């Protein structure tokens, strides 16, 4: 596990000859094992922040640290992170076990170690009885859990979630939320969870980062953000009482 630090992080996208700045100097210190939610309206830069941590986008300015390491220049595979997306594509022809084991096989993890890790993840996610099934023989919720299992078995230092619940119906969304909380209780992995839904943010976060147009408007506990919004934007976005 590890701390996660943003130090004056800036992102500019190139658009032809122009450049467009979408993250304007974000700084935040996240403790080892914290569950942090990044919340804000569509287009405010949530995914961009996450993708820079993952190494899927270059950092234009500032630094991102995982533990003691500045990760700006590291390849995604060297960063000890795992990411759960909204569109979790499972391999349809592989069993649940093989779906979870696949990344470890590629990384040449020994076979018995793979089995130990998959069995442990399956235990936590209540997938133990489903390991021989194919994805099409699973419910939507079970498939979502397999996608999370695939991330857990890599034993990452940091977990990144980019709106993993937004394609699910209300019931499944609530179930999966509970699943994610349980996962965090059991494994205690430092987590960054992105959503545009303020209610989801308030329920899941230990602390939350409220973003607006590439700026961090506030970083605090749900209670602080709700009761003492730092800006008028935060107050109206969160729906704080006037
Ligand atoms: P969010 O996840 O909060 O909806 P994004 O991080 O996806 O926001 O996008 C932030 C801003 O950056 C938006 O204005 C978006 O249009 C722009 N953007 C995102 N990806 C790219 C890209 N690859 N090239 C240019 N602009 C981008
Ligand atoms: Mg996004």
Kindly report, residue by residue over 199-242, the tens digit of the pLDDT: 999 999 999 999 999 999 999 999 999 999 999 999 999 988 87
Segment 56-95, tens digit of pLDDT: 999 999 999 999 999 999 998 899 999 887 667 899 999 9
- For residue 57, give the ligand nearest its CA: 1
Burial class from Cβ neighbours inside 10 Å (0-12, 13-18, 19+) for residue 67 reads middle
Which atom of ligand 1 is closest in space to residue 194's alpha carbon? 2
pLDDT at res. 87: 67
Q: How far is the CA of 143 from the centre of ligand 2 (A)?
A: 22
The pLDDT, as a whole number, for residue 73 is 93
Confidence of residue 98 (pLDDT cuts 50, 70, 90): very high
Which alpha helices (H) appear in the chain, and where do they start and end?
Answer: 46-54, 96-106, 111-124, 140-152, 170-187, 198-204, 222-227, 232-238
- What is the reported pLDDT for 20? 95
Q: Is the ipTM of this complex over 0.90?
A: yes
* Mean pLDDT along residues 170-196: 91
CA–centroid distance, 46 to ligand 2, in Å, is: 6
Task: Assign 175 a pLDDT band (cuts: 50, 70, 90).
Answer: confident
pTM score of the predicted model: 0.93
Question: Ligand 1 pocket check: which of 22, 46, 60, 166 to mutate, most ligand atoms within 8 Å of Cβ?
Answer: 22
Average pLDDT, the chain: 93
Which among 16, 20, 197 is the best mutation to test ligand 1's pocket, defined by most ligand atoms within 8 Å of the CB?
20
Please tell me the predicted confidence (pLDDT) of residue 226: 96
Distance 123 CA to ligand 1 centre (A): 37
| Ligand nearest to the Cα of 163, by number | 2
Q: What pLDDT digit, counting tens, does each position of 20-46 carry?
A: 999 999 999 999 999 999 999 999 999
In this model, does residue 191 exceed pLDDT 70?
yes
Closest alpha carbon to 40 in 218, 172, 177: 218
215: left (phi over 0), alpha (psi -120 to 50) or beta: beta
List the residue whose alpha carbon is closest to atom 13 of ligand 1.
43
State the closest ligand 1 atom to the C-alpha of 41, by its place in the atom list counted from 1.
Answer: 3
pLDDT at 139 over 70: yes
Q: Which residues pair with 6 in a beta bridge?
A: 28, 64
- pLDDT(49) > 70: yes
180 and 144 Cβ atoms separated by less than 8 Å: no
- Ligand 1 site, CB within 6 A: 13, 15, 20, 22, 40, 42-48
Neighbours of ion ligand 2 (CB under 5 A): 47
Please give the distance, rounded to the nearest whole angstrom, from the Cα atom of residue 162 to the centre of ligand 2.
7
Compute, in angstroms, the gap from residue 12 CA to the centroid of ligand 2: 16
* E-state strands within 108-214: 158-162, 190-195, 207-212
């Amino acid at each position: 596990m590890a701390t996660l630090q943003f130090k004056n992080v800036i992102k500019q996208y190139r658009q032809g000859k122009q450049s467009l700045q979408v993250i304007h100097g974000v700084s935040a210190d996240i403790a080892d094992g914290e569950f942090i939610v990044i919340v804000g309206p569509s287009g405010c830069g949530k995914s961009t922040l996450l993708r820079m941590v993952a190494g899927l986008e270059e950092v234009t300015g500032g630094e991102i640290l995982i533990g003691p390491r500045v990760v700006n220049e590291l390849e995604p595979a060297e960063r000890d992170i795992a990411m759960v997306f909204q569109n979790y594509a499972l391999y349809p022809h592989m069993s649940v076990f093989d779906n979870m084991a696949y990344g470890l096989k590629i990384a040449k993890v020994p076979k018995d170690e793979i089995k130990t890790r998959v069995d442990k993840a399956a235990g936590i996610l209540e997938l133990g009885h489903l390991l021989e099934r194919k994805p099409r023989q699973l419910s939507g919720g079970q498939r979502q859990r397999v996608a999370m299992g695939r991330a857990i078995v890599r034993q990452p230092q940091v977990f990144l979630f980019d709106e993993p619940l937004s394609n699910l119906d209300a019931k499944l969304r609530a179930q999966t939320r509970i699943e994610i909380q349980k996962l965090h209780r059991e494994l205690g992995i430092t987590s960054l969870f992105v959503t545009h839904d303020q209610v989801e943010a308030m329920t899941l976060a230990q602390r939350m980062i409220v973003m607006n147009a590439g700026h961090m408007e506030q970083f605090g506990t749900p209670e602080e953000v709700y009761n003492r919004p730092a800006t008028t934007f935060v107050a109206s976005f969160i729906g704080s009482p006037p």
